[in-house]
Chains A and B, each alone.
Chain A
Amino acid sequence: MPIDMEQFHEVFFEECFEGLDVMEQSLLIIGQSNDPEVINTIFRAAHSIKGGSGTFGFADVANFTHVLETLLDDARDGRRELNEECIELLLRSCDCLRGMFTLLQAKKTPNLDQSIELIAAFERILRAKDTTVNTAQAEAVIQTSPEGSGSMLSQNSKNDVNTSISTDNKDTKHWQITFVPEPQILLSGNEPLRLFRELADLGKLDTTANISEIPNFADLTVDECFIRWDLELRDSSASKEDILEVFDWVIDECTLNIQLINDNTSTPVEATTSEPSEAPMASSQDKLTTTDGLSQQIASTDKKMAPDVQATSSDKNSLSSSSSSIRVGVDKVDNLINLVGELVITQSMLSELGNNFDITKLEKLSHGLEQLLQNTKELQESVMRIRMLPISFAFNRFPRMIRDLALKIDKKVELVICGENTELDKTVMEQISDPLVHLVRNAIDHGIETAEERIRKGKPEQGCIRLDAYHQGGNIVIEVTDDGKGLDTTAIHHKAIEKGLIDSNEPLSENEIYDLIFQPGFSTASQVSDISGRGVGMDVVKRNIKSLGGRIVVQSKLDMGTTIRVHLPLTLAILDGQLVRIGQQVFIVPLITIVESLQVKPELVNRVSGDMLMYRLREDNVPIIYLYKEFSISADNTDIDNALLVVVESDGQKVGLLVDDLLAQQQVVIKSLESNYKRIEGISGATILGDGSVSMILDIPGLIAASFRRSKAKRQFKAA
């Protein structure tokens, strides 16, 4: 029956990617640990990938992993030591395989250049140390072209059976077979009757049981077999291989003698005609082995299995059809089901109440509604938690990366990971991954000093990079810390002046100087290295983090190290908001941006230039933005005195938003404005409030930028 193999592909790919991750992690620790389980784990991963690839029709991958496996098998059995070179090659193979699977997953044909190169490298290693390694097989692997996996199929020689027959004939052969099983044959689950039944499929079978060897009843052991059989197979088209295939599993548990008695057609015919079901590729080999009287090799039955058609051949949809999936713990799903159950109970209670409602049941109703609120809240939290993944998904790539980088630039670096179980929304995780890589690269390249320099400074030779993640309020904080040379504020200041980013006599606070490193085109590394220092990067990092609604903070001490702290919202779909009212409109200010809310004291308001007002907030001067002017709506209060000011911060810039009233704080579900209407400056999205009205969510950075642009333009207009 037709079974669609494609349905298993997605699981298989996921499994392979997991296997490769495991392999990589184990390879990274194999140097430090001599636990045999580590090498076993690596071997198992490679083995599973190979087995699966073969079965699911990815011959290129199977061929490649076969060589890997050979090497690993030697290592596992202690015949070979995995030196640095091997580990390096194996790690590169992981990358190569990952690339191949990514392409296969997208239904594209993988490029084999890299795998062929790696196979050759492995072959060299295998040959160098052990010349007896099956070079024939190895070469077969190299020669295997993308379109054929046939040559890989093994040909097992079965020299223990002597063959005297060298020709195959049609339909009329008469074979005589003597089958003498060893007594314990039954104990391996092999039932002679079954073998005969199978033989009977090949022709007309006569069996004669020889019971002369059966011992006396007293000596008889029930689970031993003492019967021997003489079998006659007539009118058969079967070749000797076909008969041997039947006995394949018991060949070492019996004495078998197969003889061709009578052959009515004397014309030798090609094996293909006698075995019409065979794949054509096998036939030429069969012909060779069977017509060559010298050859005692009997091609194994394996050959009959036509190699699975390459899945890559289907170029019909070159676009990736894979949908991203997410693995969810059963406990999370169970919890969800429980909550839905409770929701159903509450619902039925309320509808019962609604059927014959009178005012005496008011208390019951409010009780029920409260319960509904509770259920909904829990349900929402629970559903959000499904999207949460431990941050180890993002952190796991770093051990490998740091190892490779440290090797490349000859620095000694140790990686410490903390809080890898901290959970984070999947989308946020995917988008934070690249910025994190950049931060870590920077830390190694610019932060950590060379070993000599570190010794000179009295620090341990090995540098340390620490990745930490933890929850803080409704946010997740990710820290990248190094114990390197720290940020040199004077050098940064000089560089910024040199590049014309700031005015030379502009006094800057420490934090303002740190912020300079996020300016486009800024790099303090005097030499651009391969890894970082091209001056693109930190500004991109900052932009990415900003686009996720997060912020980035730098802390550094010269010669002690640098900590870069990234604050991110836990999820992109829900926002903690402060509801504010201006006239008839309710707006939402993201809670994460709010520094404080205060009542304006008239004596602290200063008019600067034009109509720009500044509010003196302790040591800061905070520009005031009139929201009603920004959105051209009417407000109750247009007077600055005694008004309410919400001080918000973005990019280190604080501004005060003038509002009429502060309402509740609540979680709101973000709805995209762009997909439903169009983009509006100063608004990042919308949400629907409890009373059904639509409320806009303020885009604080956008608002600040727009407002500054406008007042600047105004100033220029006035100056002109």
Chain B
Amino acid sequence: MAQILIVDDSASMRNMVATTLKSAGHQVTDAADGQAGLNKAKSSKFDVVVTDLNMPIMNGIDLVRNLRALANYKYTPILLLTTESSMDKKTEGKAAGATGWLVKPFNPDKLLATVARVIG
């Protein structure tokens, strides 16, 4: 069981990810944009951060960069939610410090497997 932060501007995606993770016993907090996610990350410590890339106010790449600058999140697994068309974003995300990615469309089992993988 882990504390997981999910950041996505799409409520249905947040819902789906959160429900899936909760079903596996994780505790989930969500945020609708990068800035909100960053604020939540600062106020409590999460074991894993899952973030979308395209969001208003602060995008996923900037969120990763900002998180990595925090002492608390130096080694925290951060997963990007990407689509196959934004594969070049993977590189950008990696450069910013992301741990890995989940390629949309993904199914709940894949999500759980990936999260289980980073929690170790």
B85 touches A11 (CB 8 A): no
A189 touches B56 (CB 8 A): no
Which of A193-201, A442-450, A664-672, A692-700 contacts its partner? A193-201
Nearest chain A CB to B82's CB is how many angstroms away?
9
Q: Which residues on B sit within 8 Å (CB–CB) of A253?
A: 94
The answer to the question of B20 belonging to the interface, with a C-beta cut-off of 8 Å to chain A, is: yes
B120 touches A197 (CB 8 A): yes
What count of chain B residues pass the 8 Å CB interface test? 44
The answer to the question of A1 belonging to the interface, with a C-beta cut-off of 8 Å to chain B, is: yes
Q: Which residues on A sit within 8 Å (CB–CB) of B12?
A: 8-9, 11-12, 15, 52, 56
The answer to the question of B24 belonging to the interface, with a C-beta cut-off of 8 Å to chain A, is: yes
Nearest chain B CB to A247's CB is how many angstroms away?
11
Interface size on A, as a range, is 35 or more
Measured in the bound complex, the distance between the Cα atoms of B104 and A642 in whole Å is: 81
B23 touches A3 (CB 8 A): yes
The answer to the question of A44 belonging to the interface, with a C-beta cut-off of 8 Å to chain B, is: yes
A44 touches B9 (CB 8 A): yes
Q: Which residues on B sit within 8 Å (CB–CB) of A69?
A: 85
Given A15-B10, A154-B87, A308-B105, A43-B54 contact (CB < 8 Å): yes
A154 touches B84 (CB 8 A): yes
Contact with A along B1-23 (1 / 0, CB 8 A): 00000000111110110011001
A194 touches B118 (CB 8 A): yes
B107 touches A305 (CB 8 A): yes
A51 touches B23 (CB 8 A): no
Q: Which residues on A sit within 8 Å (CB–CB) of B55?
A: 44
Nearest chain B CB to A569's CB is how many angstroms away?
34
Given A48-B10, A186-B75, A191-B106 contact (CB < 8 Å): no
The answer to the question of B68 belonging to the interface, with a C-beta cut-off of 8 Å to chain A, is: yes
Measured in the bound complex, the distance between the Cα atoms of B74 and A73 in whole Å is: 31
Q: Which residues on B sit within 8 Å (CB–CB) of A188?
A: 94, 97-99
The answer to the question of A252 belonging to the interface, with a C-beta cut-off of 8 Å to chain B, is: yes
B23 touches A55 (CB 8 A): no
Q: Find the B residue at minimum CB distance from A153.
A: B84
Q: Which residues on B sit within 8 Å (CB–CB) of A8?
A: 12, 15-16, 19
Given A3-B20, A252-B91, A305-B110, A187-B104 contact (CB < 8 Å): no
The answer to the question of A7 belonging to the interface, with a C-beta cut-off of 8 Å to chain B, is: yes
Q: Which residues on B sit within 8 Å (CB–CB) of A306?
A: 107
A189 touches B83 (CB 8 A): no
Contact with B along A37-81 (1 / 0, CB 8 A): 000110110011011111111000010001001100100000000
B104 touches A54 (CB 8 A): yes
A11 touches B15 (CB 8 A): yes
Q: Which residues on A sit within 8 Å (CB–CB) of B100?
A: 190, 248-249
B101 touches A249 (CB 8 A): yes
Measured in the bound complex, the distance between the Cα atoms of B119 and A191 in whole Å is: 10
Nearest chain B CB to A62's CB is how many angstroms away?
7
Contact with A along B68-95 (1 / 0, CB 8 A): 1000001111100101110100010010
Nearest chain B CB to A162's CB is how many angstroms away?
20
Q: Which residues on B sit within 8 Å (CB–CB) of A198?
A: 117
Q: Which residues on A sit within 8 Å (CB–CB) of B103?
A: 302, 305
The answer to the question of A529 belonging to the interface, with a C-beta cut-off of 8 Å to chain B, is: no
Q: Which residues on A sit within 8 Å (CB–CB) of B77?
A: 189-190
Residues A501-515 near B (CB distance < 8 A): none
Contact with B along A445-488 (1 / 0, CB 8 A): 00000000000000000000000000000000000000000000
Interface residues, chain B, CB within 8 Å of chain A?
Answer: 9-13, 15-16, 19-20, 23-24, 52, 54-56, 68, 74-78, 81, 83-85, 87, 91, 94, 97-101, 103-108, 110, 112, 117-118, 120
Q: Known contacts A44-B55, A54-B104, A189-B76; can you find 14 more A-B pairs with CB under 8 A?
A: A3-B108, A8-B12, A8-B16, A11-B12, A51-B10, A51-B105, A55-B13, A73-B85, A188-B98, A191-B120, A223-B74, A248-B100, A249-B94, A249-B100
A to B CB contacts below 8 Å, 21 in the list: A1-B112, A3-B19, A7-B19, A8-B12, A8-B15, A9-B12, A11-B12, A12-B12, A44-B9, A44-B56, A48-B10, A48-B13, A51-B52, A51-B81, A51-B104, A52-B10, A53-B105, A54-B83, A190-B100, A252-B94, A305-B107
